[in-house]
A and B are shown apart, each in its own frame.
Chain A
């Protein structure tokens, strides 16, 4: 996303807009960006300053391929241009005969008959340096980062460690000099940049991989890793300050920013993936970044830091848990593949390989992971073996401390001892083995730090120095993932700010380096720690906060609520029992009945047989999903018994402990999201949002309109009434999100979440009041009356929230929307009409809707009636209609001109051919049922690859018609203007 602003600025410059209004682009120069991003310009620049880049060549035929090989030599990597399905590692070539064969195939596969041939650096070590430069040419290295994963894995997908571990000073200084020389040559006059190097482990040969002439994801990590706020400093440098004029805030301004941070701990970052959401995607990690979030952990040693990161990742692991099924007959093959072609779980496979007594050398040969790291993982696995031979009563204080210093969690120890986590925790605390907290201070304790940015470790001296003030502790959301992203961080940040404004000392706990909540100046005290029970309790027992807020960080802190309460931690806000009442299926049903509300017929099943029986009672279609999930994980809609059986057998492992929920699917309902806030006595609706896509699309993936764009007023009032009653009955103190559906004049309650929701920031921006702040104040006992927030604020403009998807990162994935959430971000568009707001939201999401040409329409049977309206509108907007034969018949019958085209299975020429030939400008395609979805997926995938706008719902199609009709005549407002009109 960093790139979006950059590209926009470059476009403004290219079109002369900046010149026209006499605006200077600061902090980045267009020439520098071109030089860094254009491969040839970059290569030339590097050659000029005597640095090497990987040798490479391009070929359009075999002759050129041989010429390129002459220059590059073996091993080399061959890639067809614009053919993303090609997996790199397999084609790292050593021999000639294979070369010809693969080049021939690559030339055929590339749509531009073009091959890229690169020198192979696979297996080399990868390093990054974060450099900051000011206008006086003062340069500093803020942080060095070493990738745990060898070259071949995108640095965003690599596990990375700071500082660099395996460089002698002589080598490190070569990197340092090179990084600074690169900045100067590329022409980054002020600000931060990131320079990436590959180093041959055999002889130290150094190659520049790339440089980003701007702050990047790595700069965010480097800032959190060192305590040096790169973006903040870069912004000040851009307006003309120099490094020596700025003060290092973390030391209370005692020292200037013109120094190089030095750290006395080890930082580990582990990316978080969501391949489970994109099952058709290639789940190997390569040079195309695929992760959606990351966790960072700080420890005094690599082992401690790594094990803290593993448990902070929240993927159900509490350390080096084994993942290889025991007794697997092809364990060797599985391990070999996982180490050689890494996937998201490679780190645990490394552990498993050591469990199988594989040697460091074998694992190194397969993975390229430096032995320095491997030997420490081997040591951890050896410790695990030792622990599992012991019993808890044999643990002595020294031994406990020895394990904790290696980063073992209580939970992992408990698993190895086959006891409960609580038993381990109690035994440990009884022996006085407790963590201490050290400060992140940029200077390795050389100067006194006035900033309480802390991490836990097992050492002698604790530097936490908790105060005697009244404190409120906010638990953050952990790593970003699909379904739980920065929306929750927004809430945590606002809660902390509100509490600080109200005179409390604020304490933040989080482990996500990409967030604002982990900026050390957002709260009074920042604990950069995993959000696990063990870690949170240790902080709570030290700080003794008056209240702990758990409802803003998404599911992560909520999962801890019960056990935190049991441990005597004062959780404030909505009581945990209310959360349970909303989440527990049966209790929720009782609640709905008690309030005389409606929910779709539903039931809970614990076996395949039971599901079929119950489904017949409820009737199809059904929404099926495992209980207790967020983000619609593994949720599907089934239309008949056959599909239900398949789902129950293949998609989920149903059992007594993990039952499955069946809901009657309201197939033509309008979905509604409501955020409300309550002080326990009064409830104020934050906003009612109407989804644009109909029911069946996950609410996080659906666009929505605030206020509703065609929901009758009396229905809205009914919804307000229902939400208010729900909140009061549950005893909500703070936020509550309710999802409802409206079908056939009935309002149904789908789901109630007594916590912050994904839409809180959107609502807050629309209504000009921070719901999170209001809610936080409710939790500390301030009434809504006292806060002067007693009435719903309904904007007189429309705002549309649209989801943003990562489909183009996952070649082969069907970009169809469904009940499982897949979006990774969102945008908002504002307009005086719904059409304007929707059009702006589409633009913001980066989607271009062609306003003329051929519109392809193909809909499922259920939508055949509704498609006529779409066709009429498209026709009157001037599109020519193209439709599959079934849909064409319906359109023809309505008296509209339409051209029929074959489905892929009906033979060529078919719709995919038309898309490839650029003959289709927009795609409207609705489908249902597993088989039909699979059959039509090439249409959507091709549209995606060729940047053709594609919508997969009728409601979406109609909204698109609105947007096209509205055209380009957009107005621009500041959000301050809009807010001023509201108050």
Chain B
């Protein structure tokens, strides 16, 4: 199984990407507890110590090649996070995708493309099978995966509401990713 290096550092589409570290705990707690951002994600403890425990568990799964939590910076400032997880055989889930509003809007879109490129290109995975789902009111993410041509596979009901599950093959990602990249500023392409 191919794994990402622990010291992954990547500059792509105007963003800097690396894997999560314990010192990111405070940033993650703040980001995930922003009332606007928290609407469509699981409840996050406001305790930095709790988040450090979460990060330690991510790092254990990272060593096993099952989970990669990415931290993105834009112009030197922490900008947002996303994750590819439940990596097994040829499939994975892309999620935990939260970006602040203090950056150009394309950054969140670019982070999605970077995570999927790492999954499909670098790790050689074939399909994202999102069994966790996307909240039915999370229009931005639904727009995103529709643009990539994802197939909706069902619905799940959680206390937070109705979520749509989906599937996105490597083939469809490469066929459609330029529909997202066209939304990036010309200067970074």
Decide whether A and B assemble into one complex: no
A residues apposed to B, CB below 8 Å: none
